[in-house]
Amino acid sequence: KESAFLPGMPAPEIEGVDFDGVALKLSEHRGKVVVLDFWADWCPPCQQMWPHERQLVEDLKDAPFAMVGVYSGKQSTLQKLINEKTVTWKNWIEDGESPIATKWRVSGFPTIYVLDHDGVIRYQAVGYVTDAQLSKWVQELVAKVPKTAPPAAP
């Protein structure tokens, strides 16, 4: 099943609350390159990607970059992954119903989208993405972010 959203298209808004119950919108990351990861804890390729995703978050903490996830699973499991510092990025939680994944027509985990600083989808992949490939996509887009990025959308 093909994704509804392909490279070159503006990413649709995602609104909800993160794990801590804080309002979280995809558009609040405008001006930054965003890795949007649809994942589940029981997914071996997702698990394989965690160390590199943590490394990206750490290495790019001072860059115009954000990693956000759409987690399909139990809140208690995500709590454990956060407590263990396995997952160090913000996530929307879809426990049971999955309106975000349904809207984005996610057909498998992980599904990765890489958005440029204008919120346009530049890369999309279903399944495992190698560390080298993800880094290449992110570094290429981070290098294109204007030095004076526009303020985030309200």
Angle between helices 131-142 and 44-59 (to 10 degrees): 40
Residue 114 · residue 38 · CB < 8 Å: no
**Res. 151: pLDDT tops 80:** no
pLDDT tens-digit map of 46-78: 999 999 999 999 999 999 999 999 999 999 999
Note the pLDDT of residue 154. Answer: 63
Q: Using an 8 Å Cβ cutoff, are 53 and 67 in contact? A: yes
Phi, psi angles (nearest 5°) of residue 100: -70, -50
In the prediction, which pLDDT does 1 show?
42
Mean pLDDT throughout 17-26?
Answer: 90
The CB density around residue 9, as the number of other CB atoms within 10 Å, is 12
Over the stretch 83-123, which tens digit does the pLDDT of each residue have?
999 999 999 998 877 899 999 989 999 999 999 999 999 99
- Average of per-residue pLDDT values in the chain: 92
- The region, left, alpha or beta by phi > 0 then psi within -120 to 50, assigned to residue 131 is alpha
Determine the pLDDT at residue 25: 96
The whole-number pLDDT of residue 21 equals 87
Task: Give pLDDT tens digits for 23-54.
Answer: 999 999 999 999 999 999 999 999 999 999 99
pLDDT at 20: 85
Q: Is the dihedral of CA 35, 40, 46, 50 positive or negative?
A: positive
Q: What is the pTM of this model?
A: 0.91
SS3 66: strand
CA distance 54 to 66: 11
Asked if residue 148 lies in contact with residue 71, where contact means CB atoms within 8 angstroms, the answer is: no
Contact status, residue 104 vs residue 4, Cβ threshold 8 Å: yes
